[in-house]
């Protein structure tokens, strides 16, 4: 297998420049979830050019390319394609200036602030290398480009649109994510890897009045503020210190001016947990607190708590994870690590679940190694290393792309290599 990988990856030098151009092009043209037409076309066109049998438009913009290469296992590698409504502040020459009209009619900035452009580029690169070296592997390689990971509905969209009957059933599903580790780093982890994530939109109701007459109002701004404050006590007091949990109120909106007490307030929040018991406990505690705080404010109407999105925990299967970890150790040497539990979420696991097959998911680094080392020495990692979703998140192009392409190929060949 190791030898297969060496042969397959020998082709990387020749395509590196193409991949770097592709990456910059994708970065310049980010697309929000379920709108990834341009990105999907790039992927489809590339796969077709490499000789894959392509099915596009699965679940809107999802794409699969199948390269059958004789008897053997089937390996599916998945990349997600969507970007985020973030205004890029990287200052990169290939920074995004894209905007899009949002659901409320306003112009929203768009940015690949989570590195899905890296994922797409690396999977296209791997797909190309696999197609160029078909004599050192046997079986079927499936490249899957998924829409709308950020909204948690892209994997489901593909599944609902018949993915399992439109693709060969894989023996294993592979996926990777670029993370704020030094570029070159590859990190695997058996068991829990990513958190469950539940996003809620909560509307609380007061009663509006002129700002000078609070006694005629039920003030939803104070009500929402008390809820934000009170929610902190769930993590600080109701969950054990050794049980990871996060509640982030990402947005709060009420009123349109200084002087009119509005009728209602809306907060949106996100919950991260790593097991079902804690997940249930925290979601119940949120409902309890929101309800009680509305009562404390004599709210005239019950609050509305709506689920915006819901991500399962990503729990890597032990067997394929060990297989990939060994292949990485052989190929990457000291750059192969066991990665820490990550407080992020993914809907990727829905895909293997739909097929009823195991999966493994790993991380690759995207930060300039010297910069990372310096921040680490100075204890300023949190301040100086932009993380995913930040407006300054900017993976270095190399060795990030080389590592991502190699990791996909090495992992796939752990099943397919001869």
Which residues are annotated as part of the binding site for Mn(2+)?
114, 116, 150, 177
Asked if residue 315 binds a second copy (CB under 8 A), the reply is no
Binder to a second copy among 123, 239, 324, 367 (CB under 8 A)?
239
Asked if residue 208 binds a second copy (CB under 8 A), the reply is yes
Between 69 and 384, name the residue whose CB sits nearer to a second copy.
384
Binder to a second copy among 68, 92, 100, 249 (CB under 8 A)?
249
Residues in contact with a second copy, counted by CB under 8 A, come to a total of 96
Classified as helix, coil or strand, 120 is helix
236: DSSP letter: I
Binder to a second copy among 38, 326, 389, 418 (CB under 8 A)?
389
Give the C-alpha distances (Å, rounded to integers) separating 169 from 63, 141, 359, 409: 15, 11, 13, 19
Binder to a second copy among 111, 118, 269, 414 (CB under 8 A)?
269
Q: Give the tokens for residue 253.
A: 């909106």
What's the min distance (Å) between Cβ of 118 and a second copy?
A: 16
CB–CB of 219/255 below 8 Å? no
Between 132 and 310, name the residue whose CB sits nearer to a second copy.
310
**Interaction residues for a second copy, span 147-176 (CB under 8 A):** none
Residues 6 or more apart whose CB falls under 8 angstroms from that of 210 comprise 216, 259, 260, 261
Phi and psi angles of residue 225, each rounded to the nearest 5 degrees, phi first? -65, -45
Asked if residue 261 binds a second copy (CB under 8 A), the reply is yes
Site string for a second copy, 358-387 (x = CB under 8 A): ---------------------x--x----x
Q: How far does Cα 128 stand from its chain's mean position?
A: 24
Binder to a second copy among 238, 275, 326, 374 (CB under 8 A)?
238
- Other C-beta atoms closer than 10 Å to the C-beta of 339 total 17
Asked if residue 211 binds a second copy (CB under 8 A), the reply is yes
Q: Which stretch binds a second copy (CB under 8 A): 74-82, 91-99, 106-114, 323-331?
A: 106-114
Residue ranges in 11-115 assigned as alpha helix (H):
12-28, 37-50
- Residue written as token pair 């705080």: 293
Between 97 and 280, name the residue whose CB sits nearer to a second copy.
280
Asked if residue 106 binds a second copy (CB under 8 A), the reply is yes
Asked if residue 203 binds a second copy (CB under 8 A), the reply is no
Asked if residue 293 binds a second copy (CB under 8 A), the reply is yes
Per-residue DSSP letters for 280-347? HHHHHHHHHHHHHHHHHTT-SS--EEEEEEEE--EEE-HHHHHHHHHHHHHHHGGGEEEPPPBS---S
Asked if residue 250 binds a second copy (CB under 8 A), the reply is yes
Between 68 and 221, name the residue whose CB sits nearer to a second copy.
221
184-204 core/surface letters (b: 16 or more CB in 10 A; e: else): bbbbbbbebbbbbbbbbebbb
What's the min distance (Å) between Cβ of 8 and a second copy?
A: 34
Between 156 and 263, name the residue whose CB sits nearer to a second copy.
263
Between 20 and 238, name the residue whose CB sits nearer to a second copy.
238
What's the min distance (Å) between Cβ of 319 and a second copy?
A: 23
Asked if residue 255 binds a second copy (CB under 8 A), the reply is yes
CB–CB of 363/356 below 8 Å? no
Asked if residue 251 binds a second copy (CB under 8 A), the reply is yes
What's the min distance (Å) between Cβ of 246 and a second copy?
A: 5
Asked if residue 105 binds a second copy (CB under 8 A), the reply is yes
> How far, in Å, CA of 24 to CA of 381, rounded?
26
Asked if residue 302 binds a second copy (CB under 8 A), the reply is no
**Partners of 108 in beta bridges:** 100
Q: Give the tokens for residue 382.
A: 């949190």
Q: Give the tokens for residue 282.
A: 């925290």
CB–CB of 131/140 below 8 Å? no
Asked if residue 13 binds a second copy (CB under 8 A), the reply is no
Asked if residue 308 binds a second copy (CB under 8 A), the reply is yes
**Interaction residues for a second copy, span 218-237 (CB under 8 A):** 219, 221-222, 224-226, 228-237
């Amino acid at each position: 297998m190791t030898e297969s990988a060496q042969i397959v990856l020998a082709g990387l030098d020749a395509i590196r420049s193409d991949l770097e151009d592709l990456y910059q092009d994708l970065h310049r043209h980010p697309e929000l979830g379920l709108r990834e037409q341009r990105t999907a076309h790039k992927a489809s066109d590339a796969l077709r050019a490499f000789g894959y049998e392509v099915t596009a438009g699965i679940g809107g913009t999802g794409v699969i390319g199948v390269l059958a290469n004789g008897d053997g296992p089937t390996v599916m590698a998945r990349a997600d394609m969507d970007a985020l409504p973030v205004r890029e502040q990287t200052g990169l020459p290939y920074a995004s200036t894209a905007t899009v009209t949002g659901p409320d009619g306003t112009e929203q900035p768009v940015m690949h602030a989570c590195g899905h452009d890296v994922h797409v580029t690396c999977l296209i690169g791997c797909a190309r290398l696999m197609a160029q070296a078909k004599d050192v592997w046997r079986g079927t390689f499936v490249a899957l480009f998924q829409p709308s990971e950020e909204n948690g509905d892209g994997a489901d969209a593909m599944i609902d649109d018949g993915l399992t009957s439109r693709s060969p059933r894989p023996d294993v599903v592979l996926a990777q994510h670029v993370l704020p580790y030094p570029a070159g780093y590859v990190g695997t982890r058996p068991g829990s890897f990513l958190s469950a994530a539940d996003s809620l939109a909560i509307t609380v109701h007061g009663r509006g009045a002129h700002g000078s007459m609070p006694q005629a109002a039920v003030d939803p701004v104070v009500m929402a503020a008390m809820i934000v404050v009170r929610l902190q006590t769930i993590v600080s007091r109701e969950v054990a210190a050794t049980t990871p949990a996060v509640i982030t109120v990402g947005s709060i909106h009420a009123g349109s001016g200084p002087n009119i007490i509005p009728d209602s307030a809306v907060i949106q929040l996100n919950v991260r947990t790593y097991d079902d018991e804690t997940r249930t406990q925290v979601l119940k505690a949120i409902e309890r607190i929101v309800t009680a705080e509305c009562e404390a404010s004599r709210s005239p109407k019950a609050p509305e708590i709506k689920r915006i999105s819901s991500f399962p925990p990503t729990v890597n299967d032990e067997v394929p994870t060990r297989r990939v970890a060994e292949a990485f150790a052989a190929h990457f040497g000291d750059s192969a690590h066991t990665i820490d539990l990550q407080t992020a979420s993914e809907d990727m696991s829905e895909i293997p679940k739909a097929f009823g097959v195991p999966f493994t998911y790993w991380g690759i680094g995207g930060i300039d190694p010297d910069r990372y080392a310096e921040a680490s020495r100075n204890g300023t990692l949190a301040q100086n290393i932009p993380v995913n979703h930040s407006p300054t998140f900017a993976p270095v192009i190399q060795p990030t792309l080389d590592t991502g392409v190699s990791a996909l190929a090495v992992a796939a060949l752990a099943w397919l290599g001869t």
